[in-house]
Amino acid sequence: MNDSNTDVIQGTLDMLILKTLSLEPMHGFGISRRVEQITRGVFKVNPGSLLTALQRLERAGWLDAEWKQTENSRRAKIYSLTRAGRKQLEVEAADWNRRAGAIARLLKAEI
């Protein structure tokens, strides 16, 4: 197994973004940094994948976005979670927990 693999598991990027934005609104680079910090470097988000996911989540109505000045006087698109986004996070987290539990049971199974 390759311990240096830091790719986000396919199908989890939306959940990671929604969870990160449930903590506080932030811009794309902040989301990427926060995911890396919280996962202690286990996951790194590809900037292109992040941008595509943010656009998809915004179109789905799960995120709001607003252009604002950052603390270092740059314009950045700040994303925040909508009420629908919070509900979607609950759905995705429950699904993740169900799948992770199933995998854990399988790994513990003995012949």
pTM, to two decimals? 0.87
Strands ordered across the beta sheet of 26-27: 26-27, 75-81, 63-69
Q: Which of 63, 64, 27 is nearest to 45 (CA)?
A: 27
Residue 1 confidence (pLDDT): 45
The confidence score (pLDDT) of residue 71 equals 83
pLDDT, tens only, 12-21: 999 999 999 9
pLDDT of 33 > 80? The answer is yes
Summarised one tens digit per residue, pLDDT across range 34-92 is 999 999 999 999 999 999 999 999 999 999 999 999 888 899 999 999 999 999 999 99
CB-based burial label for 88 (10 Å; 0-12, 13-18, 19+): buried
Average pLDDT rounded to a whole number, residues 90-100: 95
Segment 93-106 shows an average pLDDT of 95
Domains and CATH numbers, the chain: 13-104 (1.10.10.10)
